[in-house]
């Protein structure tokens, strides 16, 4: 036993000798770092502006309180609780949490306290040992337009993401990442590069001054500011018009594809996410029956209804199913298509002889059923793909669905029996197909500008606030391989719709336009979906708009007034106080989506 004792004693003495004499230099080196604390300096996340320079997103200070349990005086629980406006038990609970993780280290115990609470605690800090305050940044949304789905929300990085190669190494626990919208798509540019600062720490662990006058510090590099193609005024107008509705509106620059407005209704308040979302808010927004987090503008797939007739017309002209002049340039409408004995394929009127322009103007179902009968389904799909349907759009909106454009293999899978009737329905934009408002906006832009399919994008350019470095995002539109003459025929048909057809109510005084209403059949006996697409002005269009209102009736009832008001607001810079505007406002505001049946 004595041997054991002396061996242990010898070990201890040896250890002391090693520490105090041999290893001295090493640890003295370490001790220099002891009085120094290396801090990560978070860069300022980039701000976001609209196309006119209106500030839509920036940062504001966020105040948090940390607790270091070992130094906390338990007699001060009530004082701290009073300052924070919480009960003693909350403070005690946070203390216990903090203690469980590290009792000598500060824990972030109270996030996002108000400025008042922050300053009251600051005054009393000397009475509150073990309490400290941290000022960080959170997002602020000063614009009248909420643009929730376009801008997107931010959130604290998740554990699994930290291990993801996309983030690992550059992100730490507690860092913020963009989850949706622009914040997500441009995360790398917005975030900036974190810096490092060395601070001399006094004996109580409080920072006194920069080390070596900050010479060894690496400053944080702020993120790029983003300039959107969005017009906050048009966006705000769209948001205000969608009361009592589910649906979406997308307006893009008809030449460049810059997204002027992108709205999905209902939306949600980005502010609930800005400084770390509270569980209660998350549950409320995530379980809402109308799914406010869901970006209908780029994800809602529904049949396009009659807005589709422009595409079928172009396909038919281009493939010779119908001619623009001559003997094969008309179809006779008796109020129905003869196939099925006139009971199944009905038209809304008896239009008589119809050429392409008139068939579009009158939205003649008989004509387009006939085109559907004549067409080959593979060709149909090829032309739909030319306009970007049935696929993801090349865009900076990550939240997308490709939609559905059927082909024969799809029908073989979906149905035991299918035949010409199934395909004929596609001619009028009904049946088994799905398109998103974003796709419709590209499509109507291409019709408006005579065949150039633009790439929609939220961001116009990025500019670095410090270096002035600018990154322009200007993708070239794709030429659709269809004769311009055919485009001009269809364009003219769309103009006739606005002047003489179902779009009459949605005309913009003084500006000729082209457009098309659509009524998409909704399943389950619900009210139809209201769809509308338009471009304006008629010559060299600047804006293309697509609007879907779920379960709100025909296209002229809800979607048309909203789209034309948005276009008018964009082209004129304001909405004039005219009877025509008031009439459309009234229509748009009184239209309603039929409520979804309770689940």
Partner 1 sequence: MDRYVLWVALVLGAIGTLAVYSAIGYLAQVKAAGDTEMFLVRHVTRLGVALVALAVFSMVDYRFLARWSRIMLLGSLALLVLVRIFGVTLGGATRAFHLGTLSVQPSDFAKVALVLYVGVLLVRKQGYIENFQRAVLPIFIWVVATVVLIGLEDVSTAGLVLVATMLMCYVGRVRLAHLLWPGGTCVVLAVLMLVGSPQRAARVEAYLGVDLFAASETTELFNDSDERYQARQARIAFAMGGLTGRGPGKSVQRDFLPAPYNDFIFAIVAEEYGLLGALALLGLFSILMLRGFLRIARAAPDPLGLFEAAGCTILISLYGFVHAGVASGVLPVTGLPLPLVSYGGTSMVAAGAMIGILLNISRQAHR
Interface contacts to partner 1, rule CB under 8 A: 1-2, 5, 8-9, 11-13, 15-17, 19-21, 23-24, 26-28, 30-31, 34, 70-71, 73, 99-105, 129-130, 159, 203-205
* Token pair of 323 as six digits: 């001619």
DSSP 306: G
Nearer to partner 1, 172 or 504 (CB): 172
Closest approach of partner 1 to the CB of residue 70, in Å = 6
Closest approach of partner 1 to the CB of residue 66, in Å = 14
Quote the CA–CA distance of 74 and 77 in Å, as a whole number. Answer: 6
* Token pair of 89 as six digits: 């038990």
Quote the CA–CA distance of 103 and 264 in Å, as a whole number. Answer: 47
Closest approach of partner 1 to the CB of residue 99, in Å = 6
The DSSP string of 453-510 is E---BSEEEEE-TTT--EEE--PPPEEPSS-HHHHHHHHHHHHHHHHHSTTGGGPBTT
Nearer to partner 1, 20 or 500 (CB): 20
Nearer to partner 1, 29 or 123 (CB): 29
The three-state (H, E, C) secondary structure of 223-241, written as one string: CCEEEECCCHHHHHHHHHH
Nearer to partner 1, 102 or 166 (CB): 102
Other CB atoms within 10 Å distance of the CB of residue 233 = 23
Nearer to partner 1, 75 or 598 (CB): 75
Nearer to partner 1, 27 or 212 (CB): 27
CA dist list (Å): 105 to 92, 94, 99, 249, 586: 17, 14, 9, 50, 61
Q: Identify the residue whose tokens are 């626990």.
A: 173
Contact between 497 and 514 under an 8 Å Cβ cutoff? The reply is yes
The residues, ordered by sequence, that sit 6+ positions from 403 with a Cβ below 8 Å of its Cβ are 301, 389, 390, 391, 433, 434, 435, 436, 439
Closest approach of partner 1 to the CB of residue 209, in Å = 17
Closest approach of partner 1 to the CB of residue 104, in Å = 5
Closest approach of partner 1 to the CB of residue 21, in Å = 6
Nearer to partner 1, 8 or 353 (CB): 8
Nearer to partner 1, 126 or 213 (CB): 126
Quote the CA–CA distance of 115 and 474 in Å, as a whole number. Answer: 42
The residues, ordered by sequence, that sit 6+ positions from 458 with a Cβ below 8 Å of its Cβ are 150, 181, 182, 185, 228, 229, 230, 259, 262, 395, 396, 397
Question: What stretch of H or E contains 91?
Answer: helix 88-101
Nearer to partner 1, 198 or 307 (CB): 198
Closest approach of partner 1 to the CB of residue 292, in Å = 33
Nearer to partner 1, 88 or 116 (CB): 88
Nearer to partner 1, 27 or 414 (CB): 27
Closest approach of partner 1 to the CB of residue 18, in Å = 9
Coil, strand or helix: which one is 58? strand
Write phi, then psi, for 153 (nearest 5 degrees).
-105, 160
Nearer to partner 1, 15 or 52 (CB): 15
Closest approach of partner 1 to the CB of residue 215, in Å = 24
Nearer to partner 1, 71 or 461 (CB): 71
Contact between 477 and 455 under an 8 Å Cβ cutoff? The reply is yes
Quote the CA–CA distance of 167 and 175 in Å, as a whole number. Answer: 10
User: What is the chain's Cα-based Rg?
Assistant: 32
Other CB atoms within 10 Å distance of the CB of residue 496 = 17
Closest approach of partner 1 to the CB of residue 74, in Å = 8
Closest approach of partner 1 to the CB of residue 111, in Å = 19
Write phi, then psi, for 14 (nearest 5 degrees).
-60, -40
Closest approach of partner 1 to the CB of residue 159, in Å = 8
Coil, strand or helix: which one is 313? helix
Coil, strand or helix: which one is 39? strand
């Amino acid at each position: 036993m004595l041997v054991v004792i002396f061996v242990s004693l010898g070990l201890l003495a040896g250890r002391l000798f090693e520490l105090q004499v041999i290893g001295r230099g090493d640890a003295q080196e370490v001790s220099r770092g002891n009085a120094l604390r290396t801090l990560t300096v978070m860069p300022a996340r980039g701000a976001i502006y609209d196309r006119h320079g209106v500030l839509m997103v920036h940062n504001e200070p966020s105040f948090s309180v940390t607790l270091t349990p070992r130094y906390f005086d338990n007699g001060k629980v009530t004082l701290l609780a009073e300052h924070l406006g919480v009960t003693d038990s909350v403070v005690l609970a946070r203390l216990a949490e903090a203690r469980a993780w590290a009792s000598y280290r500060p824990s972030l115990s109270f996030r996002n306290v108000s400025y008042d609470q922050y300053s009251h605690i600051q005054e009393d800090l000397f009475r509150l040992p073990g309490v400290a305050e941290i000022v960080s940044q959170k997002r602020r949304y000063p614009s009248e337009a909420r643009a929730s789905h376009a801008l997107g929300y931010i959130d604290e990085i998740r554990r699994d993401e930290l291990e993801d190669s996309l983030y690992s190494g550059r992100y730490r626990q507690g860092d913020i990442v963009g989850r949706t919208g622009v914040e997500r798509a441009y995360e790398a540019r917005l975030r900036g590069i974190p810096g490092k600062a060395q601070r001399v720490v006094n004996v109580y662990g409080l920072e006194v001054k920069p080390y070596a006058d900050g010479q060894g510090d690496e400053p944080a590099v702020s993120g790029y500011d983003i300039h959107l193609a969005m017009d906050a005024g048009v966006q705000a107008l769209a948001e205000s018009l969608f009361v009592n509705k589910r649906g979406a509106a997308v307006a893009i620059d008809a030449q460049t594809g810059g997204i002027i407005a992108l709205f999905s209704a209902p939306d949600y308040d980005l502010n609930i996410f800005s400084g770390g979302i509270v569980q209660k808010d998350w549950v409320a927004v995530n379980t809402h029956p109308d799914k406010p987090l869901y970006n209908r503008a780029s994800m809602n797939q529904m049949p396009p209804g009659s807005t589709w007739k422009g595409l079928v017309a172009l396909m038919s002209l281009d493939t010779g199913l119908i001619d623009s002049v001559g003997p094969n340039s008309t179809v006779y409408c008796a109020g129905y298509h003869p196939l099925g004995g006139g009971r199944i394929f009905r038209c809304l009127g008896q239009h008589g002889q119809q050429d392409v322009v008139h068939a579009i103007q009158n939205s003649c179902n008989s004509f387009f059923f006939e085109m559907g009968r004549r067409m080959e389904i593979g060709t149909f799909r090829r032309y739909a793909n030319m306009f970007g349907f049935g696929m993801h759009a090349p865009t900076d909106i990550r939240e997308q669905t490709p939609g559905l454009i059927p082909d024969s293999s799809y029908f073989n899978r979906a149905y035991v029996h299918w035949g010409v009737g199934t395909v004929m329905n596609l001619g009028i934009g009904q049946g088994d197909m799905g398109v998103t408002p974003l796709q419709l906006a590209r499509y109507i832009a291409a019709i408006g500008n005579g065949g150039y399919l633009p790439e929609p994008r939220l961001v116009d350019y990025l500019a670095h606030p410090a270096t002035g470095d600018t990154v322009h995002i200007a993708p070239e539109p794709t030429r659709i391989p269809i004769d311009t003459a055919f485009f001009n025929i269809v364009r003219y048909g769309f103009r006739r719709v606005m002047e003489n057809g179902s779009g009459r109510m949605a005309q913009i005084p003084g500006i000729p336009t082209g457009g098309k209403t659509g009524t998409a059949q909704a399943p389950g006996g619900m009210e139809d979906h209201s769809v509308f697409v338009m471009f304006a002005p008629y010559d060299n269009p600047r804006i293309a708009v697509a609007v879907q209102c779920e379960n709100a009736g025909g296209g002229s009832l809800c979607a048309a007034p909203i789209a034309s008001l948005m276009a008018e607001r964009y082209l004129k810079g304001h909405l004039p106080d005219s009877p025509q505007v008031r009439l459309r406002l009234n229509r748009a505001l009184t239209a309603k989506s039929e409520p979804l049946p309770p689940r």
